[in-house]
Structure 1
Amino acid sequence: MPGTADLNQAYWSLSNARPAYERADTFYRGTVDEYHASPRVKRLLSRYGLTNLDTFNFAHVPVDAVANKLYLNNLTSGDPSTDALIENIWDENEMGLEAPILHRNVCKYGDAYVMVWPSVEDDGETISGVDLINEDPLTVRVFYDVVNPRKKTYAIKSWCEGEGNERQTFAFLYYPDRVERWVHPGRVTKVNKSGEDKWKPYTADGQDSVLENPLGVVPFYHFRTDRPYGEPEHINAYGPQLTINKLVTSHVATIDYQSFPQRYSLAEVGTTGPNYQQGEVDPFSPEDADSNPESLNTASQLEADPGTVWDFQNTKAVGQFAAADAKAFLEPFDRYVKALSQTTDTPFHYFDSTGVAISAESKKETNEAFNSKVAARQGSLGFTWGQLFTDVLDYLGVFADRVDVVWRPINSADSENDLKALLLKKDLGVPLDVLLVEAGYSQENAQKWAALAAVSTPTEIPNTTE
C-alpha cells in the first residue's frame, strides 16, 4: 500500500482552498454575513431583527450573465456516425441538464470538474459506455506537474459521511494507473496528539483499497476561468455588495422613523439638571442607566424607538426629530451598483433592466468588454469539452482527430446594421450556413436551411403585361 505523503498534501490543499469557494457561493446566494464598524450598531440592528434582513443581492448577476451565454449548440467530429455516438453519450448522461449547471459552477467558483468513469461489461475488461459526473471544487481538486503545468499528475475527491462518533472522512486519490482509497475516523486535524496518522486503507465495500484505473489517465476534466486554477466571475463584486448590504440595512432601520418620527418634549428652564427633586431621574445621566456594558441603554434612559416621546418634567414645548434623508442611502446605493458593474466588466443594463432604453448599436459598444470575456470562457471551456469527448471516444475504441464545440453565438443579428453586415458577407461568398449561425441560429437548423436553399429554385413570376 502506498504511503500517505500525497494524500496529506492533496487533502490539505483541498481543505485550504475550500473557504474561498464557500465564500464565492455565499456571495452568489446573497447569504454573506454583514460587517459592522461598531458592535453597538450591530446590537441595535439585532434588537430590531435587521441583522437577518434579506439582502439586495447583485453579486450573482456577473455569474449568471456569463453562464447564460455559455450554451452548447453542438459537439462534432466531422463524421456522422461518430457524431451520432457523441449525441448518444450526451443524452445518456443527461448533459443537456448537467452542462448548464457545470458552466454556472465554473463562473461561480472559477473551477469545476467532470469525472469520466467507464461502464464495464461482465467480463470486467470491455468498456461499453461512460458515466459523466459533475463535480464541484469543494470536494475535488486536480494537481499538475511542476515542470509541465498542462499535465495532470493526480486528483483527490474527499467527502464526509455520518454524524458524531459515526462520522468518517473519505479521500480517494486518482492516478493514471490506479485509485487509492482512504478513510479517516471523524474530522481530520493537522496535528494529532498521539502523532499517529489515522488515515487507513478503505476496504469496507469488499474491494481492495487500491483499484486499477482502466482509463490510463487522471479521470477528472478541469473546467476553469484561469490556469492553473480559476477565479469567480464575481470576485470583484464582493466589496461593492457588502457596502450595498450595509446601505440597505441602515436605510431599512430609518424607514420606521419616516412614518413614525421620534418626538420629544422640552422641560422648562431651571427644572432640569442638578435641581431635580428627590426621586426624579435625570434622563441623560449614565449613572441612572443600566450598568451592564452589553446593554443598549447604557447612555440614557430615553428610548429611541419610532413613535415614542421623550418626556421631561415640567414640559415647556414639544417637537420631533427629522428622519434621515433617503437620498443619503439611495444615491450611494446606485453608485455602488455601478461600481459592481464596472469592476466585473458586466454591462449596467444587466443590473437595471428598467432604465433608459439604449439603441442596439450603443448596447453593442457597451457589451464589447463583456463579450470578450464570454469569448475567452467559450475558448477555455470549449477546449476542455473537446478534449473530454476525444478521450471518451478513444476509451470506446473510436478514433477521432478532434471534437469541436459549436457555441450559440454571443450576439444574434437583431438590428438592421447586423443584417446588412450579413448580407454583405453573403455577397463576398460566405456560406449560408455560416451566416445563419452568426445570426444566432443553431448549427443543425443552419445546415438544414442551407441544404434546402441549395436544392430549391425560385419560382418564376409570370409576366401579366404581355
Structure 2
Amino acid sequence: MNEHIEEAITEFRREGRRYAKTERYYRGDHDLAFATEKFANTFGSLFREFAMNLCPAVCDAVRDRLRVAGFAGEAGEAAEAIWRRTRMPIRSGEVHREALVNGDAYVIVWPDEAGRAAIYPQRAANCTAIYDEEHPGRVLRAAKHWRTADGRTRLNVFYPDRIERFITAKAGEAALPEAREFLPFMEAGGRMANPFGSVPVFHFANNADIGARGRSELEAAIPVQDGLNKAVLDMLVAMEFSAYRQRWAAGIEIEYDNEGNAVAPFKAGVDHLWVTENPNARFGDFETAGLDQFIKVKDSFRIDVASVTGTPMYYLMPHTRGFPSGDALRRAESRLAAKVRDRQAAFGHTWAEAMAFALRIEGRGAEIEVRWEPPPS
C-alpha cells in the first residue's frame, strides 16, 4: 500500500509543475524576457504584469465547440436526468477547459448522501490515474489529494473494489508530504468498499498517447507566446525612447569634481533647455527606431501561434485579416474542425464511461452514447 502512496505523490509532483505553468500562461502570467539585464532593471517594473495573451484564444476556440447535447441509447433519458441534476451542462465545460489548458482533467462519480449518483469535476493537479501496462487504456487505480481546513493533507487511493483513505497526523507547510507521513483516516473508517467493480475516477486526457497523460493545447504555443511578448516589449521600449528622444552635445568643455569624476554639463528633461557660451558647440539627437518593423514581427508571431496550434487566424488577428465567410471560413477552420472531432471522440468515450458508472449506481446497466451539439458555424 505504501508504494501506491509513493507512486501517487511522485506523479503529483512531476505533473504539478507542468500544470502550474500552463495554468499561469492561460491566465496571462507569463515569463517575460528582456534582451539584457540592464533593460530588465530599467523596464522590468514598468512591464512586470504585461502580456499580449493569446493562450485563451487557442484553448477557447476548441472549448466553444465542445458541448454535450445529451445521450443516446436505452438509458439515455436516465443519463440526461443525472446530467442535469448534477449541473453538468455547465460543469462539463469546466472539465473540458481543464483538459485543454493542462492536458488532463478528472471527474469522480460516487453516490451522494441520498444514494443517488453524483459527478464531481476535479482539478488536474489534485488527481492522477495509473494505467495497466498489460491492458493499455484501463485504469488500475487512481488517487486524489487535498488540504483540509486545519492544514493537514488528505489522500484517497481508488481501486476497483475499495477506496483507501489517508491523512497526515499534523499540519505541514508542504502541500505534498512524504508517503511515510500518511496514516489511515480512521475518522471515516479508513477503508470504504467499492461495490461497482471499476475505479470511480475518469481521466480526460487531451491529445494523449495510449495510457499516457494528456498534452496541453498550449504546449506548442508557449514558446511562440514568449517570443510575441518579447517583440511587444521591445516595441514598447522603443516607444518609450521615441517619446523622449536621446540628445547629444559636442564641443562642450567637461568639468570634473574633486574626485576626478566628470560632471554632467546639462540636466536632461522635457522642462530643461541646454545652453552654452561656446560658439563651436553642437547639439543633436539620435534617430529613433521605426515602429513598423516591430509591428511586422509581432504579427508574424501571431501567425506562428495559429500555425503550430491549428487556430484560425481570425481568432488571433481579427483587426487585420477580417472575418472570412463561406468556403474561406471552411478552409480556415479545417484543422480546428479536425481537432474538435478528435476531442469529441476522446472526451465522449470518457463521458460515456462516467455516465455508465453513474447509471450503475442507480441500478441501471445499459450502455449509452454521447451526443454533441453541432459546432457553431
The alignment's TM-score, normalised by the length of structure 2, stands at 0.89
CA deviation profile, 1:69-104 (whole Å, cap 9, x unmatched)? 101122122x4xx33322221111011110111111
Q: Which amino acid aligns with 1:376?
A: D
Are the equivalent residues in 1 in contact too, given 2:256–2:263 (CA < 8 A)?
no
CA deviation profile, 1:400-447 (whole Å, cap 9, x unmatched)? 1x21111122364xxxxxxxxxxxxxxxxxxxxxxxxxxxxxxxxxxx
Partner of 2:125: 138
Partner of 1:293: none
Which runs of 5 or more structure 1 residues have no equivalent in the other structure? 122-127, 285-300, 413-466
CA deviation profile, 1:350-381 (whole Å, cap 9, x unmatched)? 11223244341022112212211110001111
CA distance in 1, matches of 2:266, 2:78: 77
Partner of 1:172: 156
CA distance in 2, matches of 1:397, 1:207: 25
Aligned residues: 369
Partner of 1:258: 242
Partner of 1:95: 88
SS in 1 for 2:283: strand
Question: Where do 4+ consecutive residues of structure 1 move more than 3 Å?
Answer: 187-192, 276-281, 301-315, 356-359
CA deviation profile, 1:259-306 (whole Å, cap 9, x unmatched)? 3322333334xx35xxx566574269xxxxxxxxxxxxxxxx998887
The equivalent position to 1:248 in structure 2, one of 232, 237, 243, is 232
Match status 1:202 vs 2:198: no
SS in 2 for 1:375: helix
CA distance in 2, matches of 1:149, 1:309: 77
The equivalent position to 2:312 in structure 1, one of 347, 354, 365, is 347
CA distance in 2, matches of 1:262, 1:344: 41
The alpha-carbon distance between structure 1 residues 253 and 117, as it changes in their structure 2 partners (threshold 3 A), is same
Are the equivalent residues in 1 in contact too, given 2:257–2:263 (CA < 8 A)?
no
Cα distance, 1:201 vs. partner? 1.8
Partner of 1:10: 8
Cα distance, 1:11 vs. partner? 1.1
SS in 2 for 1:182: strand
CA distance in 1, matches of 2:272, 2:47: 23
SS in 2 for 1:20: helix
SS in 2 for 1:406: strand
Which runs of 5 or more structure 2 residues have no equivalent in the other structure? none
Partner of 2:303: 338
Mean alpha-carbon deviation: is it higher for 50-59 or for 5-14?
50-59
The alpha-carbon distance between structure 1 residues 97 and 326, as it changes in their structure 2 partners (threshold 3 A), is same
SS in 1 for 2:181: coil
Partner of 1:182: 166
CA distance in 1, matches of 2:267, 2:98: 48
Q: Which amino acid aligns with 1:99?
A: S
Mean alpha-carbon deviation: is it higher for 369-378 or for 30-39?
30-39
CA distance in 2, matches of 1:26, 1:189: 18
Within-5 A mapping of 1:35-434: 35-46=33-44, 49-77=45-73, 79=74, 82-119=75-112, 121=114, 128-161=115-148, 167-184=151-168, 185=170, 186-187=172-173, 197-203=180-186, 206-225=187-206, 226-227=208-209, 228-268=212-252, 271-272=253-254, 276=255, 279=258, 281-282=261-262, 314=278, 316-354=281-319, 355-400=321-366, 402-410=367-375, 412=377
CA distance in 2, matches of 1:331, 1:375: 34
CA distance in 2, matches of 1:253, 1:385: 49
Are the equivalent residues in 1 in contact too, given 2:142–2:199 (CA < 8 A)?
yes
Are the equivalent residues in 2 in contact too, given 1:264–1:310 (CA < 8 A)?
no
Q: Which amino acid aligns with 2:346?
A: S
Q: Which amino acid aligns with 1:224?
A: A
Are the equivalent residues in 2 in contact too, given 1:117–1:132 (CA < 8 A)?
yes
SS in 2 for 1:251: helix
SS in 1 for 2:107: strand
Are the equivalent residues in 1 in contact too, given 2:108–2:122 (CA < 8 A)?
yes
CA distance in 2, matches of 1:180, 1:73: 35
The alpha-carbon distance between structure 1 residues 221 and 323, as it changes in their structure 2 partners (threshold 3 A), is same
CA distance in 2, matches of 1:9, 1:305: 63
Cα distance, 1:389 vs. partner? 1.4
SS in 1 for 2:281: strand
CA deviation profile, 1:185-212 (whole Å, cap 9, x unmatched)? 41459998xxx92222222xx3211222
Are the equivalent residues in 1 in contact too, given 2:71–2:77 (CA < 8 A)?
no
